[in-house]
């Protein structure tokens, strides 16, 4: 693994991404081969926001690899009383082997990585959710085969952290990623440009869900109001009217298309119950795969180079 940290996937190559996905396959297929891969290692998990999947997959994953994970609520450690990220990073680096953090501002992740002497993993920021995107493309490989080139993933919803990470990771794997959002909720232009720099033909940003979902292999959505935006819920419900992934929209996709969602889901808002819990939904396969992907990621970033 060429990379020291996972802050955004922006500077990750196709090879770096493929390395994680390939090890994920091995870890998922033969978990017993990796019971001592991180023996004696400790992971610090800082959470400024709530979590079910990220917290549990990292904690269980570390245990299954022979290591130990510490849950550090952002309000319980001194960070919550104003100790700086730089000091927190330098102190934690002297105790633990990996730091994973879920934060509001991306600058907190960037600063942790800047000051930490051990690998830092972004467990979600307002701008990116790289762990989820890696898991999602691994899950797509399980469904469609290892080579995802030529597949089309259509993300319908807010141009948020998920949209950004799916875009950046997808184009590097040769996936055509279409982001469909109402005006005013489009993904950040710098991130769209970064994805276009990989291959402009693989990037679409539009506001027309019916047109964009034609020929989709995956329709993906996420909540309309992310963590930290709860007070905008009502405004967003209005802005996103017409962007629910329902049976009519899903009918535009290819016959073998699947529905994906990072979860938690709000049935009746961004997705209808019929699609979310329907026969083409693979949301719980995605959720399970967080565990396997996190294990592979922690092993590679901490320098594991076993057989
Ligand atoms: N998808 C995801 O990151 O879920 P949590 O917020 O439960 O961690
Ligand atoms: N966009 C969502 C993702 C949750 C996993 C959020 O940031 O709340």
Q: Any idea what the Cα angle at residue 7 is, between residues 153 and 106, rounded to 5°?
A: 95
- Asked if residue 274 and residue 167 are part of one domain, the reply reads yes
Give the nearest ligand 2 atom to 161 CA: 1
- Asked if residue 193 and residue 244 are part of one domain, the reply reads yes
Residue 251 to residue 166: CA distance in whole angstroms: 22
Number of domains in the chain: 2
160 lines ligand 2 (CB under 6 A): yes
Inside any domain, residue 1: no
Give the nearest ligand 1 atom to 52 CA: 7
At residue 196, the pLDDT reads 98
Inside any domain, residue 201: yes
- Asked if residue 140 and residue 85 are part of one domain, the reply reads no
226 lines ligand 2 (CB under 6 A): yes
Residue nearest to atom 7 of ligand 1 (CA): 52
CATH number at residue 88: 3.40.50.1370
Inside any domain, residue 4: no
- Asked if residue 98 and residue 143 are part of one domain, the reply reads no
259, 157 contact by CB (below 8 A): no
At residue 305, the pLDDT reads 85
At residue 14, the pLDDT reads 98
Inside any domain, residue 8: no
290, 160 contact by CB (below 8 A): no
Residue nearest to atom 1 of ligand 2 (CA): 226
- Asked if residue 271 and residue 144 are part of one domain, the reply reads yes
Inside any domain, residue 21: yes
Cα–ligand 1 centroid distance for 10 (angstroms): 21
- Asked if residue 279 and residue 178 are part of one domain, the reply reads yes
Segments of 224-268 assigned E as strands:
258-261
Nearest-CA neighbor of 246 among 264, 269, 265? Answer: 269
Give the nearest ligand 2 atom to 228 CA: 8
Whose structure tokens read 């009746």? 268
Residue 22 to residue 29: CA distance in whole angstroms: 11
Residue 306 to residue 23: CA distance in whole angstroms: 11
Nearest-CA neighbor of 9 among 17, 19, 1? Answer: 17
pTM for this entry = 0.98
Instruction: Provide the phi-psi class of 41: left if phi over 0, else alpha when psi is between -120 and 50, else beta.
Output: beta
Whose structure tokens read 């920021």? 125
173 lines ligand 1 (CB under 6 A): no
Cα–ligand 1 centroid distance for 131 (angstroms): 10
Inside any domain, residue 141: yes
Domain span including residue 82:
14-129+288-301
Ligand with minimal distance to 288 CA:
1
Nearest-CA neighbor of 160 among 141, 142, 177, 179? Answer: 179
At residue 151, the pLDDT reads 98
At residue 126, the pLDDT reads 98
161 lines ligand 2 (CB under 6 A): yes
- One pLDDT digit (tens) per residue for the chain, 307 residues: 889 999 999 999 999 999 999 999 999 999 999 999 999 999 999 999 999 999 999 999 999 999 999 999 999 998 988 999 999 999 999 999 999 999 999 999 999 999 999 999 999 999 999 999 999 999 999 999 999 999 999 999 999 999 999 999 999 999 999 999 999 999 999 999 999 999 999 999 999 999 999 999 999 999 999 999 999 999 999 999 999 999 999 999 999 999 999 999 999 999 999 999 999 999 999 999 999 999 999 999 999 988 7
Which structure tokens are listed for 302? 């901490």
- Asked if residue 242 and residue 231 are part of one domain, the reply reads yes
Ligand with minimal distance to 291 CA:
1
At residue 306, the pLDDT reads 84
- Asked if residue 255 and residue 149 are part of one domain, the reply reads yes
- Asked if residue 108 and residue 49 are part of one domain, the reply reads yes
Map residue 221 onto helix, strand or coil: strand
- Asked if residue 297 and residue 198 are part of one domain, the reply reads no
Cα–ligand 2 centroid distance for 270 (angstroms): 13
Choose one of 48, 134, 262 to mutate for the ligand 2 pocket test, by most ligand atoms within 8 angstroms of C-beta: 262
Give the nearest ligand 2 atom to 226 CA: 8
262 lines ligand 2 (CB under 6 A): yes
- Asked if residue 280 and residue 215 are part of one domain, the reply reads yes
- Please give the positions annotated as active site: 102, 129, 132, 222, 262, 290
Question: How does pLDDT run across 230-268, given as a tens digit for each residue?
Answer: 999 999 999 999 999 999 999 999 999 999 999 999 999
């Amino acid at each position: 693994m060429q990379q020291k940290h996972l802050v955004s996937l922006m500077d990750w190559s196709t090879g770096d991404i493929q390395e994680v996905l390939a090890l994920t396959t091995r870890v998922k297929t033969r978990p017993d081969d990796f019971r001592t891969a991180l023996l004696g290692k400790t992971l610090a998990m800082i959470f400024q926001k709530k979590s079910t999947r990220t917290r549990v997959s990292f904690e269980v994953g570390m245990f299954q690899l022979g290591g130990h994970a510490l849950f550090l609520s952002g309000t319980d450690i001194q960070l919550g009383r104003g100790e700086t990220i730089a000091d927190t990073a330098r102190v934690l680096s002297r105790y633990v082997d990996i730091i994973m953090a879920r934060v509001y501002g991306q600058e907190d992740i960037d600063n942790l990585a800047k000051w930490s002497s051990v690998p830092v993993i972004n467990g979600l920021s307002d701008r990116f959710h790289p762990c989820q995107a890696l898991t999602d493309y691994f899950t797509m490989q399980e469904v469609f085969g290892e080579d995802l080139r030529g597949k089309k993933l259509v993300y319908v919803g807010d141009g948020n952290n998920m949209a950004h990470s799916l875009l950046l990771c997808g184009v590097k794997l040769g996936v055509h990623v279409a982001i469909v959002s109402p005006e005013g909720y489009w993904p950040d232009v710098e991130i769209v440009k970064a994805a276009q720099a990989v291959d402009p033909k693989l990037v679409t940003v539009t506001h027309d869900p019916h047109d964009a979902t034609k020929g989709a292999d995956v329709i993906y959505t996420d909540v309309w109001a992310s963590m930290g935006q709860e007070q905008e819920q009502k405004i967003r419900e209005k802005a996103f009217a017409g962007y629910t992934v329902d049976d009519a929209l899903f009918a535009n996709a290819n016959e073998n298309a699947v529905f994906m969602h990072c979860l938690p889901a709000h049935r009746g808002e961004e997705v209808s119950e019929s699609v979310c819990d329907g026969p083409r939904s693979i949301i719980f396969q995605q959720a399970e795969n967080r565990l396997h992907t996190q294990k592979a990621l922690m092993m590679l970033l901490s320098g594991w180079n076993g057989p």
